[in-house]
Amino acid sequence: MNHFILILIGFLVATPIANATETDSVTVPNTMAERVKACTICHGDEDRAGRDAYYPRIAGKPQGYLFNQLLNFRDGRRYYQPMAILLENMSDEYLLEIAHYFSSLKLPYPPPEHINLQPEEIKLAEQLVFSGDPERELPACSACHGDNLMGVEPFIPGLLGLSRVYIAAQLGSWRNGGVMRGQTPDCMSEIAKQLASDETNAITKWLAVQPASGNPNPVTALAPELAHRCHSIVQENGAAK
């Protein structure tokens, strides 16, 4: 694994932007598409899923969201060691450029997964995704992630086109609290902790079987009370505007 990572680092640091003082005559690819090959080894060649379902697609996600994740991995707020090593010496400016590059790739989504859901699971998932549970003050997923669940620029990612394994891992790390998954406290960890395991399970499966339209959500801002819940992400950490 170490050898693999070293090769990846070679890709990224030997670039004019990552290392502006580099004067050696290394043959360096000069476009962002070449430089991010270190990323697409795992994340897939821009449009496809990566080597397995655990590697999330990053193309076309909101720029501010991607930028925040890159900062989170680099600064230890989200844990995945190979990425932390890769991003270690990159400046905020360079990470913003990478976020911009992947965000602007508008590519077709993979087909939905085939998973059997029981009718009760579908009902439970649709209820929580589109209506939430007012009694528990649990907002609908769609209230923040958009009516079409394709995300809200610039900080909220879409929920479709992700694999079941990946979604389950994310909700799991927010719920368990042991593994950091971004800013704390944050709205997603509160929401994930409110969900019972059968609810998480039903939602995760349901999301993974929906086709992703790729159409942007027309709404461009969260309702004030939802923005307030997520303020550590959508306001204070707004460097990616």
Residues of this chain that interact with ligand HEC (CB under 6 A) are 8, 12, 36, 38-39, 41-43, 54-56, 58, 61, 65-66, 68-70, 78, 80, 82-83, 86, 98, 128, 139, 141, 143-145, 155-157, 159, 162, 167, 169-170, 182, 187-188, 191, 203, 226, 229-230, 233
Measured from the CB atom, the residue of 70 and 150 that comes closer to ligand HEC is 70
- Residue 148 or 170 having the CB closest to ligand HEC: 170
Which has the closest alpha carbon to 162: 54, 46, 37, 42? 54
Q: Which is nearer to ligand HEC, 23 or 159 (CB)?
A: 159
* Shortest CB 127 distance to ligand HEC, Å: 10
Residue written as token pair 């900080």: 155
Tokens of 9: 């680092």
Shortest separation between residue 66's beta carbon and ligand HEC, angstroms: 5
Shortest reach from residue 111's CB to ligand HEC, in Å: 18
Nearest to 155 by CA among 23, 18, 63: 63
Cα gap 123→128, rounded to integer Å: 9
CB of 21 to ligand HEC, least distance (A): 20
CB of 25 to ligand HEC, least distance (A): 24
Cis omega (within 30 of 0) for bond into 216: no
Minimal CA–CA distance to 91: which of 105, 66, 70? Answer: 70
Residue 196 CA to residue 203 CA, distance in Å, equals 11
Identify which of residues 22 and 84 has a Cβ nearer to ligand HEC in the complex: 84
Between the CA of residue 161 and those of 61, 75, 202, 206, what are the distances in Å? 11, 27, 16, 12
Amino acid sitting at position 240: A
Q: Which is nearer to ligand HEC, 25 or 117 (CB)?
A: 117
